[in-house]
A and B are shown apart, each in its own frame.
Chain A
Amino acid sequence: MSNILIEAKKIRKEYKMGEEKVEALKGVSIRVKEREFIAIVGTSGSGKSTLLHILGCLDKPTSGKYSYRGKETKDLSDKELSSLRNKEIGFVFQFFYLLPRENILQNVELPLLYRDTSPEMRNNMAREALDKVGMSHRINHLPSELSGGERQRVAIARALVGEPNLILADEPTGNLDTKTGEAIISIFEELSDAGRTVILITHEMELAEKAERIIKIRDGKIEGG
């Protein structure tokens, strides 16, 4: 039996949109074991991205308990949360979010800049990560010179470079054609096989079915959960 990596209990999240209060999450509880490959499925506006941000320690819940490796994140300082994001978590976004003015290698090196890593070490680790996603041939290019699929591979390399335990992917194929999307998903499958915990957000059931477990979310609540 594997250890529990993530435990979220009755997570609620409210936003203020102008005057109106929007409740994005209405008490979500979720438990993820280490090495699991999970897909979170829901329509747009269902709160799945908000959930992912909270799981990734980018955002804090309005109420509820969220523990990562048994440690409650509510009590962590900005520095500790940042370090957690840096060392434990790798994000992959729908719109890639690469830095437009930096080349591929520099983009992948970015997480390592916020650690004590020597320049050579950074370089080697970034090249290795790019090699894993099959992008080592274009390290000197700018993101704008790449296709969407290639950009997403670079973004995945960036998520991987710090050797995180948890990969969080928010609609990683949303901006790609079906064929490219499938290739990207197969990278996530490989990562899962290699022993990483992967949480994939998508609205396409077809892609979600590649995961070991599917969690459906609707109107800020887990369906049947």
Chain B
Amino acid sequence: MKKIFFHFFQDFRAYKIRFLLVLFGVAWGTTTIILLMGFGVGMMTGIQEGMSGMGEHIAILWAGQTSIPYKGLGIGRYIHFVPEDAKLLREKIDIIDEISPEYIAWGKPIKYKEMLRQAKISGVNPTYGKMRNLVPEDGRFINKLDVEQRRRIIFLGTEEKEKIFGERKAVGEKVLLNGIPFLVIGVLKEKIQMSSYSGSDEQAAFIPYTTFKVMYGRRYLNNIVYRPVSPELAEKAQKKVYEVLSKKYKFDPNDKEALSFWDVTETEAMMSKITKVIEIFLALVGAMTLLIAGAAVANIMYFLIDERTKEIGIKRSVGATAKDILKQFFIESLLLSSIGGIIGIGFSSFVLHLCSFIPRVGMLEFFGAPKLSPEIPLVTFIILLIISFFAGYFPAKKAASLNPVECLRYE
């Protein structure tokens, strides 16, 4: 083994430029595949994070206008939801896991001392926080008692808290909403939200829907948010919602205009398909680069064997078996690609590490930080070894099968 290392470095010295070019090729191939995969994974986790920012597997339900005459009732009738509809759906449809009514009011003043902000206020129930990924950084989200007792409490979006309180602690303070004091019970943890239906959660505040209803005197909800037991049941849940609500509001269950849905699972499925395709594409490009690097390794091995035909003959004449020759060239080629691969993995890890220092602002927020999960270099290295196995095996096999006498005669 030591001998083979020694030979390898001797060859390296003798054919410096050739070896360096091959090493560069292998290293570059490895770097490309790892960087591509790293950025790809970063992008995908960015997208996933952004998607889950609004909530996972949830559906938003709006009331619409009828477009099909039904039981003597004409078209163009507006449907309106009331908070009881959420309860009704929850009771009638067992595949709905969580559901919350939602009132929304935009541009409502929030006052704190001399500070005045205009913000979006949502009136919701406790499960809303769970569904919409409203994780408190400080304090808590709205609970059952808050809703039952119509408490005057408020959960602030990240940005609103910062604009109103700055660095100071907000939980425990009182703000004025509509001139009425509200206790801040929680502040939203910063989050990446790629999609929304009524504005960013960071620029909003949340209060119990019961409180909202009384304070703003609103009868009708803006929408309902619900989550089925599992994403596979999303379509079935939609159908059930139609059944229940069409009965209550007397519209044709096939009237597409009467209700409208935004089913996030559909978007999720599409995005995951897109990211899969991107992932496969990146992997293919990377693998092709590695394949080319493998061809370079094979090429230099054939060259080396040509150069060393006489050496093969001499070694055979003093008792080297065909297997000894095969081993020698095979291990040399494996060494060549391993060293190249390690350089590539090292370099690309370094680059990805540097990338993690780029602040995620603007577009980069959605792009996601390039990530180096440990399986990427591992898989790359395994692919590289498989490719270099063939790149080394065939030339080595050729070297081993040469006739010793012809090797000795070779000029």
Binding site for B on A (CB under 8 A): 53, 56, 58-59, 78-79, 82-83, 85-87, 91, 93, 97-99, 101, 110-111, 113-115, 158, 162
Contact = CB atoms under 8 A, between A and B. Distances in A.
A101 B14 contact: yes
B323 interface: yes
List 7 A-B pairs, minimum CB-CB distance, nearest first. A86-B319, A111-B318, A82-B321, A114-B319, A85-B319, A59-B405, A97-B314
A79 B316 CA distance: 11
Given A97-B314, A99-B311, A101-B10, A111 B405 contact: no
A114 B320 contact: yes
B324 interface: yes
Nearest to B400: A78
A78 B404 contact: no
A98 B322 CA distance: 20
16 contacts: A58-B317, A58-B404, A58-B405, A58-B408, A59-B403, A79-B323, A85-B319, A86-B319, A93-B408, A99-B311, A110-B314, A110-B315, A113-B3, A114-B324, A158-B318, A162-B319
A115 B408 CA distance: 22
Contacts of A53: 405
A99 B314 contact: yes
Interface string B115-152: 00000000000000000000000000000000000000
Q: Which interface residue of B314, B319, B324 has the most chain A CB atoms within 10 A?
A: B319
Interface of B: 3, 10, 14, 310-311, 313-324, 403-405, 408
Given A79-B323, A99-B311, A114-B324, A85 B405 contact: no
B242 to A, nearest CB: 78
Q: Taking chain B's interface residues, is the majority helix, strand, or loop, or is none over half, making it mixed?
A: helix
B14 A82 contact: no
Nearest to B409: A49
B311 A85 contact: no
B37 to A, nearest CB: 41
Nearest to A58: B404
Nearest to B408: A97
Contacts of B3: 113
B148 to A, nearest CB: 87
B318 A110 contact: yes
Contact of B313 (A82, A97, A110, A115): A97
A93 B322 CA distance: 21
Given A53-B405, A59-B403, A59-B405, A87 B313 contact: no
A110 B318 CA distance: 7
Contacts of A85: 316-319
A113 B404 CA distance: 18
A59 B323 CA distance: 17
A142 to B, nearest CB: 12
Given A59-B403, A78-B322, A82-B320, A97 B315 contact: no
Contacts of B322: 78, 82
Given A58-B405, A114-B315, A114-B320, 16 more contacts: A56-B317, A58-B404, A58-B408, A78-B322, A82-B324, A83-B319, A85-B319, A86-B319, A91-B317, A97-B408, A99-B311, A101-B10, A110-B318, A114-B321, A114-B324, A115-B319
A82 B405 contact: no
Contacts of B313: 97
Given A93-B408, A97-B313, A79 B403 contact: no
B248 to A, nearest CB: 88
B404 to A, nearest CB: 5
Given A101-B14, A114-B324, A82 B319 contact: yes
A114 B313 CA distance: 14
Contacts of A162: 318-319
A79 B321 contact: yes
Contacts of B321: 78-79, 82-83, 114
A114 B10 contact: no
B268 to A, nearest CB: 61
B307 to A, nearest CB: 11
A164 to B, nearest CB: 10
B9 to A, nearest CB: 11
Contacts of B323: 78-79
Contacts of B10: 101
Contacts of B311: 99
Q: Which interface residue of A82, A83, A97, A114 has the most chain B CB atoms within 10 A?
A: A82
Nearest to A170: B408
A97 B313 CA distance: 9
Contacts of A114: 315, 318-321, 324
Nearest to A95: B408
Nearest to A84: B319
A24 B106 CA distance: 102
Contacts of B324: 82, 114
Given A58-B405, A78-B322, A97 B316 contact: no
Nearest to B320: A114
Nearest to B11: A101
Nearest to A161: B318
Q: Which interface residue of B317, B320, B405 has the most chain A CB atoms within 10 A?
A: B317
B167 to A, nearest CB: 71
A110 B311 CA distance: 11
Contacts of A59: 403-405
A206 to B, nearest CB: 26
